[in-house]
Homo-oligomer: A and B are copies of this chain.
Amino acid sequence: MKIALSQLNFHIGNLKYNSEKIINAINKAKSENVDLIIFSELSVCGYSPLDMLENKGFIKDCENAINEIVTHTKGIAAIIGAPTINPNQKGKTLYNSAIFIENGDIIKTINKTILPTYDVFDEYRHFEPNDIFEIIEYKNKKIAVTICEDLWDEQKAFGNFDKDTLYQRSPLKYLSKYKPDFIVNIAASPYSHNHANTRTEILSNNAIKYSTPIIYVNQTGANTDLIFDGGSLVINSKGQKVVEANYFEEDFKTVNIDNIDQLNEIQKVELSKYTYIYKALVLGVKDYFKKSGFKKAVLGLSGGIDSALTLAIAAGALGSENVEAILMPSAYSSEHSVTDAVDMAERCKIKYHIINIEELRQSFEKTMASVFKGTEPGITEENLQARIRGSILMAYSNKFGNIVLNHSNKSEIAVGYSTMYGDMNGAISVIGDIYKTEVYELSNYINQNIKDIIPQNTITKAPSAELRPNQKDDDSLPDYELLDRILFEYIENKLSADEIEKLTDNRETIDFVIKLVTKSEFKRFQSPPILRMSLKAFGFGRRIPIVAKF
């Protein structure tokens, strides 16, 4: 039996676009004599439509799209992901389903059992969990169809609670009783750099445990903050990877299920984590623009490392001809800030403008003079510069249609070292899930492996916001090595101050950092969406009440 893994980049809610992609893949599969073609989770609508699922018109249109696709399946079978209406009178309105179509008919609908409801996942919000376990028989093969998290039944509970597994049930325990010839898993599993190996391990462990090969089809492409890396797989019954689709792009692979034991194991190649992060960020920017219907970007270029890195990524994603930069020096800008920024813009071959904000800064001072009389200049005046710059970028965006890219990094977002409605502006935060220490590592990676594009002086000089004379980041923050260590343990690993102290003996700094994180929840609430790179990015996947005190 010849099987195709169709790894596509879907656009959420764009049913016509998605159906066309699916139908084209089916036609290609037919021309290659494929028996069964497999698409990813919720392929008809893209993952995840979230509350669009509460709109009945949307669900009806998904049904219509499936019905249209079905008419293209003469002589072939297909597994397609879609939301379907729960026909029972009790429970959530929908199921998250895998629809098995054969030769122009829907044969069976398999529903998802384990519904991830943590971090960025909200599946129990919309779907009823399945409790019926059935096997599909097709061309004398027994197929166990599962959906993404269904194979993650042994996932540990989060945090450092001493628990065994997050879920009660294991779909494969039921399905294995039918002695399936192979397992299918359709997925929409987003990328995160500290998660990539886990996925292969889980698939491999299941294959070994049940002595059954697994065909895993993931989606690719970015939907706002979530970036799906593809990397669809065929794992043989010994747990070896024998087919692997490309990462961060569409792909189409075929395999003959009857001789996968004769295929060689694909040797694991250890690549730098930044190989994937760079690809993920480029795809994230590219798809944000493509799926929003925009072409051109603009960003403020300060001569610092964050904006330079963001520009390098944006130019990689959109092409130099579609990215513009504005340099906005004030009286406090060092000379190198302009020369480094110009250097970066020219290395990138992008169009740039220099707009001096000094007159506006003074004009704000004059306008506020009567109200501010008798006060000392301080943080207010620093923030005003950031807000002038933010307003200039938005004006440029309004006038010419370029979308503003935000270049805050995760460390400064975490501690609130940023100005709301100033440098926090932007439609999308490109490096907001990259700690400052990673910003340097990623910059070096790009210079060494993609293109030597970020000026050395930008990488080596001491980081500064340049909002007052001779300001340096470490005037107000711990050094970034220590800061990032504490932030990682607190945010990603959810450790308490006591627990972090056991790892790094700096109680005062630990308490100071945690206090800054807590105090800046209100700022992050209004942050642009952040391209998610880690297992715990700021934004939708991390929900902390603003007025809380702990």
Q: How far is the CB of A412 from chain B (nearest CB, A)?
A: 17
A158 close to chain B: CB less than 8 A: yes
Q: How far is the CB of A216 from chain B (nearest CB, A)?
A: 24
**Do B90 and A165 have beta carbons less than 8 Å apart?**
yes
**Do A50 and B545 have beta carbons less than 8 Å apart?**
yes
Residues of B within 8 A of A117 (CB): 117, 122, 124-125
Stretch at the interface among A182-190, A248-256, A380-388: A380-388
**Do A49 and B93 have beta carbons less than 8 Å apart?**
no
| In the bound complex, CA of A194 to CA of B288 (Å) | 37
**Do B545 and A93 have beta carbons less than 8 Å apart?**
no
A107 close to chain B: CB less than 8 A: no
**Do A371 and B355 have beta carbons less than 8 Å apart?**
yes
Chain A 155-196 interface residues, beta-carbon cutoff 8 Å to B: 157-161, 163-168
**Do B163 and A93 have beta carbons less than 8 Å apart?**
yes
Q: How far is the CB of A163 from chain B (nearest CB, A)?
A: 6
A503 close to chain B: CB less than 8 A: no
Chain A 517-547 against B: per-residue CB contact (8 Å), 1 yes, 0 no? Answer: 0000010011111000000000010111111
A271 close to chain B: CB less than 8 A: no
**Do A159 and B54 have beta carbons less than 8 Å apart?**
yes
| In the bound complex, CA of A370 to CA of B355 (Å) | 9
| In the bound complex, CA of A159 to CA of B55 (Å) | 7
**Contact residue among B14, B384, B394, B549 (Cβ-Cβ distance under 8 Å from A420):** B394
A496 close to chain B: CB less than 8 A: yes
Residues of B within 8 A of A545 (CB): 12-13, 48-50, 52, 223-224
Q: How far is the CB of A235 from chain B (nearest CB, A)?
A: 25
Residues of B within 8 A of A168 (CB): 90-91
Q: How far is the CB of A547 from chain B (nearest CB, A)?
A: 4
Stretch at the interface among A32-40, A357-365, A477-485: A357-365
Give 5 closest A-B pairs by Cβ, nearest first.
A57-B496, A13-B550, A89-B164, A363-B363, A380-B398
Give chain A's interface residues, CB within 8 Å of chain B.
11-15, 17, 46, 48-52, 54-59, 61, 85-86, 89-93, 117-118, 122, 124-125, 157-161, 163-168, 223-224, 287-288, 291-292, 353, 355-357, 359-360, 363-364, 366-368, 370-372, 375, 379-380, 383-384, 387-388, 390-392, 394-396, 398-399, 420-421, 425, 427, 494, 496-499, 522, 525-529, 540, 542-550
Other A-B contacts than A11-B547, A12-B545, A353-B371, 6 sampled, CB-CB below 8 A, are A15-B550, A56-B496, A93-B157, A93-B159, A224-B547, A387-B395
5 contacts between A and B (CB under 8 A): A12-B549, A86-B163, A91-B167, A360-B360, A387-B390
